[in-house]
Chain A
Amino acid sequence: MPSEKMLMNGSHVVAEAAVRAGCRYYFGYPITPQNELPEYLSARMPEIGGTFIQGESEIASINMVLGASVAGGRAMTSSSSPGVSLKQEGISYMAGMELPGVIINMMRGGPGLGNIAPSAADYFQATRGGGHGDYRTPVLAPGGSQELADLTFVAFDIADKYRTPVMLLGDGLMGQVMEPVVFPDFINLEDLPKKDWILDGCKGREPRALFSLLLGQDGQLYKHNLHLQEKYDQITANELRWETKTQDEDEMIIVAYGTAARIAESAIEELRAEGLNVGLFRPITLWPYPMAALRELASKVSKVAVFELSMGQMVEDVVLSVGDRAEIHFYGLPGGIIPTPADVADFLRSASRGDGKVGRRIDV
């Protein structure tokens, strides 16, 4: 049965959702603004017979996730931007070894240690593979607390289905905001498909092995990469997610994800009252990016506005999707600043007038 309506902060929501989604192995190293997540699990995991370990570092933690995944468990780590940078080597290894696992990034201001305020400047890192090699990481971007819960389930399912690390990309604001959430029911771990590749002791069966280093002279790595690419094509075909809120009379759409999309939605409500009709396109999977859906929508309007809590990262995917089908305008703010709906409304008015007073036009 789903839970009753509960009031929790976003970090706690992810933690409880992970437990209900069958995560029994959590490894992490503290960093603001997501410490409530490990704090919650440090108490919760022992209750349900799971394992909570505060690793000696971020690198140790992601490699513990790798190990737990090798042994067949649903495993997770969480961090915030600088910590996620440290995990990139492990994520690349997991992608190469085809190991499922969930990585939570509650983004904060960067680069470097940056600050502890909300930001969304890790889009490039998350969607372009922050580690080395020809791999992709499915990236889910929740729009609020209920989606933090729901997409945590989705993250574990995609991870297992395709044997890949999956990233849930939130931000510091989302981690702190409290709103009512209804949790899906606990999954039954016994109901999950059996994994026929895990290393769980070979008594009574042929031994198995998992490799990260593929030196075979018969094009072993070449073939492996082609196999990975086939998998990424399948993910792109099957797992695209997005939300649109549009009306026929829209002259412009705004593209935003996560917290930025919520702020944009309030701005849109304000503008509709003024007679300026703007629709919302919210990508939920950032990789794969819902390019075709955005392209189709963009061909119905004259202008596409992009709003990000960064100086301009997702806008590149918007440009790839939209091309010259519509004018593209961008407005972004660096980490540490939380714009209000009024700021975004000013940008949309300016984009509508085309005077460039707020934000800028992107030349395609």
Chain B
Amino acid sequence: MITRTTFAGFGGQGVLLMGYILSHGAMHKGLNITYFPSYGAEMRGGTANCTVTVSDKKIASPVASNPDVLVAMNGPSLDKFEPTIIKGGLIFLNASLIPEAPSRTDVEYIQVPIVELAKEVGNARGANMVMIGTVCAKTGILSLEETIKGMQAAMKGKDKFFGANEKAIERGFAFAKDGR
């Protein structure tokens, strides 16, 4: 099993943190991971992306030719990374910002209204938590408990956010299950 996931969006949307949560969760589960962040001469409001590879075998390259999964948090990220996704891959769209569907027809996609869902559980800043919940649930890489554990490890020392983030992650899992 090997899954390469690219997370992409604006700086400040919690793109790198999503990758970090997945990485920690998968490591705690005993899987191999590599986390490769982009780090251009970027500033707040610029673009950010990271690629997380999860496998039960040794991972050679942290650089992926064609990711299996794309998490697009804004339009430019969808435009930039959609062509790189493997045929039959899965794209998660931040439907709160991206109204359109991917133009490719050989990939699956799921539109997640993450901002609305985050507000619903009273954590307006937890849109990325909703998204990582949906991603982990749909791909099956991590269970709810493992995702929460990943979040706690990734945000070590910031315990005051754990409760609200758990709710947002749970909401993401529920959306993945029921589609609403």
Are A266 and B24 in contact, with the CB atoms below 8 A?
no
Return chain A residues, CB-CB under 8 Å to B36.
173, 176-177
B33 in complex: contacting residue of A173, A180, A341, CB < 8 Å: A180
A33 to B32, CA, bound (A): 25
Are A179 and B61 in contact, with the CB atoms below 8 A?
no
Contact residues, B26-61 vs A (CB, 8 A)? 27, 32-37, 39-41, 59-61
Are A338 and B35 in contact, with the CB atoms below 8 A?
no
Whether B62 is near chain A, meaning CB under 8 Å from some CB there, is yes
User: Min CB distance, B30 to chain A, in Å?
Assistant: 9
Are A176 and B39 in contact, with the CB atoms below 8 A?
yes
Whether A297 is near chain B, meaning CB under 8 Å from some CB there, is no
Nearest chain A residue, comparing its CB with the CB of B51? A177
Are B35 and A269 in contact, with the CB atoms below 8 A?
no
Whether A178 is near chain B, meaning CB under 8 Å from some CB there, is yes
Selecting from B63-71, B102-110, B117-125, B127-135, the interface stretch reads B63-71
Q: List, sorted by A's number, 26 A–B pairs whose CB atoms are closer than 8 Å.
A: A7-B24, A7-B35, A7-B153, A33-B39, A116-B41, A117-B40, A172-B39, A176-B37, A177-B36, A178-B20, A178-B23, A178-B34, A178-B37, A179-B33, A262-B61, A262-B63, A263-B60, A265-B61, A266-B61, A266-B65, A267-B61, A269-B60, A338-B63, A340-B65, A342-B65, A343-B65
Interface size bracket, B side? 20 to 34
Whether A205 is near chain B, meaning CB under 8 Å from some CB there, is no
* Most chain B beta-carbon contacts within 10 A, residue among A172, A266, A338: A266
Whether A5 is near chain B, meaning CB under 8 Å from some CB there, is yes
Residue-wise, chain A 108-119 has the 8 Å CB interface mask toward B (1 for contact) of 000000001100
Contact residues, A59-87 vs B (CB, 8 A)? none
A304 to B24, CA, bound (A): 39
Are B35 and A177 in contact, with the CB atoms below 8 A?
yes
Return chain B residues, CB-CB under 8 Å to A7.
23-24, 27, 33, 35, 153
Return chain B residues, CB-CB under 8 Å to A116.
39-41
User: Min CB distance, A84 to chain B, in Å?
Assistant: 19
Return chain A residues, CB-CB under 8 Å to B32.
179-180
A173 to B36, CA, bound (A): 8
Return chain B residues, CB-CB under 8 Å to A179.
32-35, 59, 62
Return chain B residues, CB-CB under 8 Å to A269.
60
Nearest chain B residue, comparing its CB with the CB of A117? B40
A32 to B42, CA, bound (A): 12
Return chain B residues, CB-CB under 8 Å to A172.
39
Interface residues of A (CB under 8 A from B): 5, 7, 32-33, 116-117, 172-173, 176-180, 262-263, 265-267, 269, 338-343
User: Min CB distance, B170 to chain A, in Å?
Assistant: 24
A178 to B27, CA, bound (A): 11
User: Min CB distance, A170 to chain B, in Å?
Assistant: 13
A127 to B64, CA, bound (A): 30
* Most chain A beta-carbon contacts within 10 A, residue among B20, B39, B63: B63
Return chain B residues, CB-CB under 8 Å to A267.
61
**4 closest residue pairs by CB, A with B:** A265-B60, A342-B65, A266-B61, A340-B65
* Most chain B beta-carbon contacts within 10 A, residue among A33, A172, A179, A262: A179
A262 in complex: contacting residue of B41, B62, B66, CB < 8 Å: B62
Return chain A residues, CB-CB under 8 Å to B66.
342
User: Given A7-B23, A7-B27, A178-B23, A340–B35 Cβ distance below 8 Å?
Assistant: no
User: Min CB distance, B148 to chain A, in Å?
Assistant: 17
Contact residues, B54-107 vs A (CB, 8 A)? 59-66
User: Min CB distance, A331 to chain B, in Å?
Assistant: 15
User: Given A5-B27, A7-B23, A177–B61 Cβ distance below 8 Å?
Assistant: no
Are A173 and B62 in contact, with the CB atoms below 8 A?
yes
Are A266 and B60 in contact, with the CB atoms below 8 A?
yes
Apart from A176-B37, A180-B32, A266-B63, what are 18 other A-B pairs with CB-CB below 8 Å?
A: A7-B27, A7-B33, A116-B39, A116-B41, A173-B36, A176-B36, A176-B39, A178-B20, A179-B32, A179-B33, A179-B35, A179-B62, A262-B61, A266-B60, A338-B63, A340-B61, A341-B65, A342-B65
Are A341 and B63 in contact, with the CB atoms below 8 A?
yes
* Most chain B beta-carbon contacts within 10 A, residue among A5, A33, A176: A176
Are A263 and B61 in contact, with the CB atoms below 8 A?
yes
Return chain A residues, CB-CB under 8 Å to B59.
179
User: Min CB distance, B47 to chain A, in Å?
Assistant: 15
